[in-house]
Chain A
């Protein structure tokens, strides 16, 4: 996997590069800001771009805007957005695309999980920060999510994080058929049309959650 890293803090940038190299991946380029990131992506054509949301010069959402730009010009390139705090607005608007992920920065310390999530995004899958998902699937007073059982909510969380049925089965230590049954129940209870495509399913779930939470 060829990776481009954009992070303004040198120490963290080097740490991330080393993390990917230790994991057996190639770091094609590192950048301290988002300015010529698009050009770098065009020349190196990586599998994945890992970038910080806040970067110079204004430290607000340079990373998020650069991520949207990359996805527009290079839809095949996976983009993994990192942030220091939970960022619903940008994350949710970008999450409705293939090959996009959003995680809190400290997730990188769980090296195994982080690298597998990165690979999933590079291969066109999704990844959404578990904390964000946990907020999203929390039952709203009187909402449909309240109809779900405890177990079903757990499955929904993992679905929303971007995991496949097999991945969910692995996490919950149950058979894949059990997971399928749960998924069917969840989709029925939430009135979401069934779909064979795992990614479309994630998108449908996210769209539902966004609607519930009135996130634009």
Chain B
């Protein structure tokens, strides 16, 4: 077990308004979320001495404009003018979960005391994957000429491989989409709050990239979420009940850029990340009371549940049936609605929900008697990170 377990806690959380298109500059959304998280902790801006983010926009073919399409650490420093800032970082290889882990490391190292991590996401005007270049450079020279563009198809081919090698039917995924949308109705910050989804809606929706239909894909939105992380001792003196970090892990495998279609790379990424988390925390999948598993595309949940060890390979679509992932089921899943419910903000919202469930702060959607709360914060293949939060330090 990790000797640093439960020494860091997630304290305050903050949310911006989530809109379909960009009505105001993204920096304003990020600022709203960060101010919300600091206020939720009962802190002042002058207390904040660490900053971390992952600013990437996962759309292609759009200009990166700091403050408008991304919100970098520099942008946040310019807005907040923190008088006591001591540390900051912007990560690249492991998505927003990596930014949280770097903040944890900085807190453990004693180089800052109250770190803010945010994720701000822009929805560009026009086509999200703006691909039609006349020429295909780099890794795309082997994919773009065949009409492969954007992450959707890359994920879709792995899902087809999964469905046909395990002889399963995509119709069973309706349970995930419908259950998560049901959970979304208890999350007022979510994009699809107030808009339920039926099994028929899912089954009749248009195909995007088979086997993905419209409701297998999270909707691009503009919005931001943020958290305050601090040491456990400090967290206990703050306003909200802390969620203690019991362990974390990151994916340790990477395949050559441009290689697509490999289901095994999802599985290896998820196994490497989660095995560290299980080992460091001392828990195993059977100990988990509630789970958040990244769902930018629905099939990521399938790879997550299997590679993290919640069920066997090939069984995830069966595993999620019969009420198991409902709030009162054996493994309540994506209880805030997931990205399919909130809109595409990436994995920090999964981390936030994992912490809220552990600290008993999830309100109407609170799962009963949670102690061990698991988070898989991004697709295991490229950027996977995993976390466990607990209610009681041990």
Chain B associates with chain A: no
- Chain B residues engaging chain A, CB cutoff 8 angstroms: none
